[in-house]
Amino acid sequence: MTRLKRRLNVNSHSPILFPTMKFSILAFAAALAVATYAQDTTDVEIDDPVLVDTPVEDGGDDNGILVVGGKEAPKGQYTWTVNLRRSQGGSSFCGGSLIAPQYVLTAAHCVAGGKPAYVAVGTHFNSGTSDGEQIQVLSATSHPGYSGDTLKGNDVAILKLARASKFAPIGLGKNPINGGATAKLLGWGQTSGPQGNPSTVLKENDFTVVTNADCQAKLRTSNN
């Protein structure tokens, strides 16, 4: 048995916040505690925070996909982007990123009700099987410090896939991400807010990173 190794000193609060949107973003790779609890994994060592930029559904509600705007992403450019599904060709309900051939990083709140049946890797669409590949999920391991409250952090989870993906994992960064940096969001979120329909195609948008302290303060304000 090998162990998924992490050397990160970050929390999992979203580093980006806009007052008109309530959303969760996986901004950093999983913390050491996730690696400690993972079993039968492949060695993946990360030395610095990694921006993953994956919008995900808030709270597991199919009507709660709340990332707004953006433009259609070029087909085939972000093939490490993943969506989580309850069936092979079903609609996406959360996002993730391929961080190793057989492992996906997602949010713990996305798997609070159990692991997804499938992930779609490298797809341009939020449903169907016309492109990319659909892979069954063997297990979901949430950060042991995740309490169910996304505002308290540790909202990260690792999915182990039934087989390795043919697509290359996301290139992992080596530098810390500071407030003021530009971050790219990718996903199948709403095309307008707050009641817009989810996009049927992968979209991208650029935002500005704020500090964790500022983000936490604004998140608490927006949720009161």
pTM: 0.70
Which CATH architecture does the domain made up of 24-219 adopt?
A: Beta Barrel (2.40)
- Digit-by-digit pLDDT tens for the chain (224 residues) are 233 333 222 222 222 222 222 233 333 333 322 332 333 333 333 333 333 333 333 333 443 444 567 899 999 999 999 999 999 999 999 999 999 999 999 999 999 999 999 999 999 999 999 999 999 999 999 999 999 888 788 999 999 999 999 999 998 778 888 899 998 889 987 777 667 778 899 999 898 998 888 887 887 777 66
Burial of 224 from C-beta contacts in 10 A (0-12 / 13-18 / 19+): exposed
**Domain boundaries defined on the chain:** 24-219
Per-residue model confidence (pLDDT) at position 194: 66
Per-residue model confidence (pLDDT) at position 177: 85
d(CA 125, CA 33): 33
Task: State phi, psi for 188 to the nearest 5 degrees.
Answer: -115, 40
What letter does residue 218 receive in the DSSP assignment?
H
Per-residue model confidence (pLDDT) at position 10: 26
Find out whether 9 and 50 touch, Cβ atoms under 8 Å.
no
d(CA 186, CA 37): 28
- What is the number of alpha carbons within 13 Å of residue 36 lying toward its C-beta? 8
Q: Which of 205, 153, 208 is nearest to 179 (CA)?
A: 208
Q: Which residues pair with 211 in a beta bridge?
A: none
